[in-house]
Amino acid sequence: MELTLYNSLTKSKQVFQPIDPADVRMYVCGPTVYDFAHIGNARPIIVFDVLYRLLRHVYGVPHVKYVRNITDVDDKINARAKEEGVSISDVTERTTRQFHEDISALGVLPPDVEPTCTSHIPQMVEMIEVLIAKGHAYEADGHVLFNTPSMKDYGELSRRSLDEMVAGARVEVATYKKDPTDFVLWKPSDDETPGWESPWGRGRPGWHIECSAMAREHLGEVFDIHGGGIDLQFPHHENEIAQSRCAHDTKVMANVWMHNGFLQVEGRKMSKSAGNFITINELLQKWPGEVLRFNMLRTQYRQPIDWTEKSVQESWDVLESWYGQSSPAEAGPALTGEVLEALADDMNTPRVIAALHQMEPAERASNIAALGFAGDLGDPRIGSVDDAAVEAAIALRLEAFGNRDFAEADRIRDELTAQGIQLKDSKDPATGERLTSWELKR
């Protein structure tokens, strides 16, 4: 089948043609592990999980390789460790564990490889040496810098010329740079900062070289898809491209570059200072993970998304209604019909959802199962409720019904309502007997 993807490199939708259909390779920039992942971080995780599932459907599970790194070397991590008075590995290990816990609740498959920076330092050093040998990088004042004018088409991804960048720059240029747009490959570490021995003294890698080195190690010099958030397009991805292409003398690093749009919260940019910073973990205290997953997919991945309480509630309502008709837990996963077509159209997930609404419940259940939904809407807040007491109250209410004592029945219902418990009555279609279920009000 034909799969169309939007390529940031060409700014157009293109039919996806893998280099080798028996070995389709995708790299996605993973988290820097210094703090809880926020809901904005969850977007690429979920979006590219959907793509991973689609690729596996199209090319076969054994023929797709998905690499998503963990950035465990970063000055933010160093700052956090210092602030807390703990070791750097304390911070990175704890945060990595938390990250895995949080995203597994979102129904994402683990990537095939999840490399860490700390285990790829030799590969980074080697790549930097190659770049120096080829005249693309130089040592200055203990740093190694990539010389951007040494690459003819630097800036192709973000479509800016070096002149534009210099003209628009607001940042003071370090004096040791040959050119204002040169960027760091390696920087020196003092005794208190993590560092590794290198030909340029004890130091640590710059931000971009990690992804170039890890992608090369696990996917080769040229691979199919590289993904990440739109905020990474420049400078991170631009510089990855520069490093990898210049080190390998290749025309591209990856054939298709994909960027998910930004996330806002209640109509405003999410930031700690604005007080609207939401972590995945916090949301999971209140909502089932698959509601968050569904909510994320209601917007096409390239569009900006406005994350609101109201939209999450709507997502919950939709899933509850679907699961009530046919649960994905009991369905054989399968991508079919219009759902598959919409997915293959640059992952048009809103169109996918519209198609799901039109499907028969059984087929729908199969499709949502294949999209990573398990059918579990267990309310994470339910632990705070004494459900035996609730069941007992419901039994008393049904007894009151039996006696036609509506005043007593309503009194019990009002009491439960006051506790935030919503009753739902239905009839057994066979016997006509009254059945009562309950849930916590949102």
Partner RNA sequence: GGCCUCGUGGGAGAGUGGUUAUCCAUCGGAUUGCAAAUCCGCGUACACCAGUUCGAUUCUGGUCGAGGCCUCCA
Site for RNA in 356-415 (CB under 7 A): 357-358, 401, 406, 409-410, 413
Note whether 77 binds RNA by CB under 7 A: no
Angle at 265 between CA 262 and CA 83, to 5 degrees: 85
How many residues bind RNA (CB under 7 A)? The answer is 76
Smallest gap from residue 399 Cβ to RNA (A): 12
Contacts of 384 (CB under 8 A, 6+ apart): none
The region of 88-96, 125-133, 351-359, 371-379 touching RNA under the rule CB under 7 A is 351-359
Told to check if 159 binds RNA by CB under 7 A, we report yes
**Residue 240 and residue 230: Cα distance in Å, rounded?**
14
Q: Helices H, strands E: what count in the chain?
A: 15, 15
Asked if residue 442 binds RNA (CB under 7 A), the reply is: no
- Specify the DSSP element, H or E, that contains 4: strand 4-7
Q: Quote the strand ranges of 251-369, DSSP E.
A: 254-260, 263-265, 268-269, 305-307
Pick one of 164, 197, 309, 415: the residue that binds RNA (CB under 7 A).
164
Nearer to RNA, 141 or 387 (CB): 141
Q: Does 276 engage in binding with RNA (CB under 7 A)? A: no
Tell me the C-alpha distance between 373 and 367, whole Å.
Answer: 9
75: contact with RNA by CB under 7 A: yes
CB nearer to RNA: give 64 or 356. 356
Instruction: Say whether residue 167 binds RNA (CB under 7 A).
Output: yes
**Spatial CA neighbour of 383 closest among 236, 285, 266:** 285
236 scored as a contact of RNA (CB under 7 A): yes
Long-range Cβ contact pairs of 412-419 (< 8 A, separation 24 or more): 416/390, 417/441, 419/385
Ordered strands of the 268-269 beta sheet: 268-269, 263-265, 305-307
Q: Which of residues 281-320 bind RNA (CB under 7 A)?
A: 298-300, 303-306, 308, 310-311, 314, 317-318
Instruction: Pick between residue 59 and residue 262 the one whose CB is nearest to RNA.
Output: 262
Helix axes 289-297, 39-59, angle to 10 degrees: 80
If the CB atoms of residues 76 and 97 are measured against RNA, the closer one turns out to be 76
User: With CB under 7 A as the contact rule, which of the stretches 82-90, 193-201, 263-271, 284-292 interacts with RNA?
Assistant: 263-271
Residue 74 interacts with RNA (CB under 7 A)?
yes
Q: Residue 235, interface with RNA (CB under 7 A)?
A: yes
